[in-house]
């Protein structure tokens, strides 16, 4: 049983040296963290422009922090799933980077070392006035909105909101250019610049492998489209690789 992994893909992976992986909300869905798509412009019940923009935050920091407090409660309960763990295992065999749009920190928790969190991390905070940055793992938050330990201004979540520049973009593009194989896992690949990465990888000669429960715009350029849940697909893939690594 399991997902069929073509022999030709196994061969490509056994010859590969550098691997890039782009992940989105879909890889964390099986950890119990809801994805965003298909929610009719609502993010867990909140209008996106209120809770994921600087304007929304300036207007009502308390509402935004209450929203993030709820998400933090949910993410605190979530554990890395077999897909996160499979990627951490693969990193031991390859020169590999995971580029994620997720803010849940589950790749790091699963043991991946080379992780670019393009949209930040929900456990980090930064000051809206001074240069303070730090970690805050309080669940639930003791004070809403939380205050800066240096200057007492309001802290914000260190996550990237709509219209803000993403983290690690240079490195992410470099990974896309240099990868022999580029995986796209659990992302609808519609938010740029992350969405351009599979196309760049393809242009620079990578074998592009998509893993998703349904087809996406990336499917057209992907060399392999493995339809199924991320845990099932990566389980099947890793089973094939382990046989060969033995």
The footprint of Zn ion (CB under 5 A) covers: 127, 129-130, 132, 148, 150-151, 153
84 is catalytic: no
Whichever of 145 and 186 has its CB closer to Zn ion, that residue is: 145
* Strand, helix or coil for residue 32: coil
Q: Which residues of the shown chain bind ligand NAD in the complex (CB under 6 A)?
A: 24-26, 28-30, 33, 35-37, 101-104, 119, 186-188, 191, 212-214, 216, 229-230
Q: 9 or 148: whose CB is closer to ligand NAD?
A: 9
Q: Which one of Zn ion, ligand NAD, none is in contact with 150 (Cβ closer than 5 to 8 A by kind)?
A: Zn ion
Q: How far apart are the C-alpha atoms of 59 and 27, rounded to whole Å?
A: 32
Nearest to 54 by CA among 44, 64, 45: 64
Distance (Å) of CA 158 to CA 26, 143, 164, 190: 21, 17, 11, 22
20 binds, among ligand NAD, Zn ion, none (CB under 5 to 8 A by kind): none
24 binds, among ligand NAD, Zn ion, none (CB under 5 to 8 A by kind): ligand NAD
Q: Which is nearer to ligand NAD, 115 or 148 (CB)?
A: 115
- Enter the DSSP assignment of 172: H
| Non-local CB neighbours of 231 within 8 Å, separated by 6+ positions | 30, 81, 82, 83
Could you give the residue numbers annotated as active site?
119
């Amino acid at each position: 049983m399991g997902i069929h992994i073509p022999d030709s893909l196994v061969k490509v992976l056994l010859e590969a040296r550098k691997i890039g992986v782009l992940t989105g909300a879909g890889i964390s869905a099986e950890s119990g963290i809801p994805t965003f798509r298909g929610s009719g412009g609502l993010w867990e019940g909140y209008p996106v422009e209120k809770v994921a923009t600087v304007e929304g935050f300036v207007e009502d920091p308390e509402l935004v922090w209450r929203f993030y407090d709820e998400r933090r409660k949910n993410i605190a309960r979530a554990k890395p799933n077999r897909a996160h763990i499979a990627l951490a295992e693969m990193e031991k065999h390859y020169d590999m980077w995971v580029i994620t749009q997720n803010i849940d920190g589950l790749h790091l928790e699963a043991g991946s070392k080379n992780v670019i969190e393009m949209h930040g991390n929900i456990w980090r905070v930064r000051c809206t006035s001074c240069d303070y940055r730090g970690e805050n793992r309080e669940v639930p938050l003791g004070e809403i909105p939380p205050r800066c330990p240096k200057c007492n201004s309001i802290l914000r979540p260190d996550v990237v909101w709509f219209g803000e520049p993403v983290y690690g973009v240079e490195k992410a593009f470099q990974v896309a250019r240099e990868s022999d194989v580029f995986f796209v896992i659990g992302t609808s690949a519609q938010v740029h610049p992350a969405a351009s990465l599979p196309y760049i990888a393809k242009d620079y000669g990578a074998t592009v492998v998509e893993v998703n429960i349904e087809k996406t715009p990336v499917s057209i350029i992907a060399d392999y489209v493995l339809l199924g849940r991320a845990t099932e697909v990566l389980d099947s893939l890793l089973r094939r690789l382990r046989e060969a690594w033995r």
